[in-house]
Structure 1
Amino acid sequence: MWDLGPIALTHIKTNELNFASVRGHTRRDPLDHWAVTLVLRGTTETSISCRTFRGGAGVVQVHPLGGSFEGSVTDSEMLILFVPRDFCPEVARVLGAIEFSTIDTGMGQLLSDFLLGLARRLANLEVTDLGNLAAATKAMILACASPTADRIQEAEEPISMVLLERARRLLQTKLFDADFRIDGVARELGVSRTRLYRLFEPYGGVAHYLQRRRLIDAHAVLADPCDQRLIVDIAEQRCFTDGAEFSRAFRREFGYTPSDVRAGIHGGLPNRPATDLAANSPEERFGILLRKLHG
């Protein structure tokens, strides 16, 4: 459970169970927040007076805790973002319009990815980050639950972060794909080629980013003494047309050749002297550790 100032996030694992929220309870304990739920594993089913809706893994659902509902959940894991009604009037109107439903759309998938990324990064957040986090969350809810051009523009930064993370995961699956095409990646992400290039502009573009990932992957294989495949075979598996092209790209990236790594000149596991990090202040330890790795 994370206290994020004006909102809260929980990570829940549960066995199969039934649940209910009834008005008699809310009169005694008037919690009327919205629960924006992302199921990571399992399924849920919710019934209200007029209908029933279901949600599975990867789909965001919206429940108002002050309403009357009941349902069931399988053995599950989920993230629940609790948004109070006074968090933002505009958010209140949007969530009120879609309560007791799922956001099973392309924009809803962006919200799913945002919540996943948020949960992964919470351990690194500082209290001073909470204001920006709340603003980004507000922008993402509005843009994804009720998209308009203005709302999407306001959420441009968090949306770009989500798209970049999704693109990185997708490109990681293309390391051995000789038929890789930038247009294909753009289509899978649902963005234009121009938008995709802007995401990877700090990395020199999509093709450069992917080539670097292929070279890093090849470096790890070459440093593995248990893998004695020919260097040209390792290069071809990572979509280099010949050994000479691979060697040139490898040297540009790392400053030494694939043969140097294979020979143990670079890329091995050096036996570095132990460092007594506890003898240094906590603020100094990380820098000392990184410098130690350089030998």
Structure 2
Amino acid sequence: MIRPHEEKVPSYLFAGDDLPPTQARDLLRERFSANFDLVLPPAGPIRVDGAKHLGLMFGGMAILWRQMYVHGITRGAALIRSSQIDHYILTVSLEQKGPTLHVFDDGRVLEQRAGEPVVLDMARPIHLDIQSGTDLTLFIPRDALDELLPRRLDLHGVKLQGTVAALLIEHLRTVVREGSGLHPAEGQLLSRSTLHLLAACLAPMSNSMALARPQAEHLLVRRIGQYVESRLADPDLSVEQLCAAFDLSRSSLYRLLEPMGGVAAFIRERRLSKAHQLLAGAQERVHLKRVADEFGFRSAAQFSRAFHDQFGYSPSEARGWIAPLADSSSPLQSEARRFATWLYSLHH
């Protein structure tokens, strides 16, 4: 469970022993659904006895230790667009029965063995096949790490090696073991030291042209996203405005945003993500007409249709999604929702 306390960093603890095999599949998927698709063994009851998750959130970062079952994790284009999380993740296999396999869009396959840290970019597709055992996952704000590096690097699928990487693993183990008693101010300091240690692992790689290839288009897409989010209430936000603001031709803008579904989808998804954030935190009734106006939709009906198309449920179902923990009627469903809420709060 999450144990909020104003004098300690937020922490999270989950044990799978209480999950009935007939419900485990759906509950586990719900735990990951905001950011990942969970791939489990073929249909039928599954047992996750002995599975445990322990997490801490500190200084804009989060770390998750898992004792787990055989499963896969994917993050495709639809989830990348809908969650809009802008983090790196560092995964470390600690003790596993076999290597974790990373499969990339270009066909490359990376084997990650115990003790090998790998960096992944959550703005890029992810597919992992994971064996039973234990691992660590660190969620890292992109800007916080990028500003410590000598140049922009393509870190997706980078395996860290050497003495500093070994020190980083021991540091993360200590964070999990001792971090639950941290004061939030100490968590901020710990976050900075963790970032600097990770940057030290990456610094020797900065001279590699394969890693340091130009990132101009990726950075431009992020700047366009920030521009759009500053003008969400403008229903007339247009291609012409974006072209003028960034000195782009129409064809260049369309080519740049085509992987995100096009210009209109890019704008709509940012509007809907911010609207979801507002509704998820609401504990009282919210008038949909006001939400529609605030986020640039011409009517409540248009907003409701777009919201359902994007998330698969209605705005009224999203209201109060980040709810007080005591409001849940089912302990098992509440436990699944707590984890998703915890990660959701990391990037909103």
Q: Place the TM-score, normalised by the shorter chain, in its bin.
A: 0.3 to 0.5
Give the helix-richer structure, 1 or 2: 1
Q: With a CA cutoff of 8 Å and minimum separation of 6, indicate the structure with the bigger relative contact order.
A: 2
TM-score (norm 1): 0.46
Greater Rg, structure 1 or structure 2?
1
